[in-house]
Every structure is written in C-alpha cells, then in structure tokens.
Amino acid sequence: MALSERRMKIIEFIHANGSVKSGDLTHVYGISRQAAGKELRAMVGQNLIRPEGKGRATRYVMV
C-alpha cells in the first residue's frame, strides 16, 4: 500500500513521539484541525493507527 507524503510524516511523528493528536499535526505541519482529523480517520480505516481516548483528548498510536 502506497502512502501519501503527509501520511508518511504522520507515521514518522508517531514513531518519534509515541502518539499523535490532531492538534499536534496542526502545529507541526500547518494543516487545519479538520484536515488532520480527516487524515487520521483515513489511517484508522487502513488499520495503520488506532485511537485511544475520546473527543479532543483522542491520541493515535501505531497498531
């Protein structure tokens, strides 16, 4: 499966930091919270990452 450059950067961020929140992506990569959420939901759908927590406190970790 080929990943976009943005999704590869998200994977690298998770490996470096252990987890990621959508807010982290807005600051690090300069994308909107909605765009970050869309990328994270798509990656969950691909079984690349999994959510932990609920709402704004949700963190995403590697599967």
pLDDT at 1 over 80: no
CA-wise closest residue to 7 among 23, 34, 25, 19:
25
pLDDT at 4 over 80: yes
Rg from Cα positions in the chain? 10
Model pLDDT for residues 10-52, shown as the tens digit of each residue: 999 999 999 999 999 999 999 999 999 999 999 999 999 999 9
Decide if 32 contacts 26 (C-beta within 8 A): yes
d(CA 58, CA 7): 18
Instruction: Report the greatest alpha carbon distance in the chain.
Output: 29
pTM to 2 decimal places: 0.89
Domains in the chain and their CATH numbers?
5-62 (1.10.10.10)
Q: For position 20, what pLDDT does the model report?
A: 97
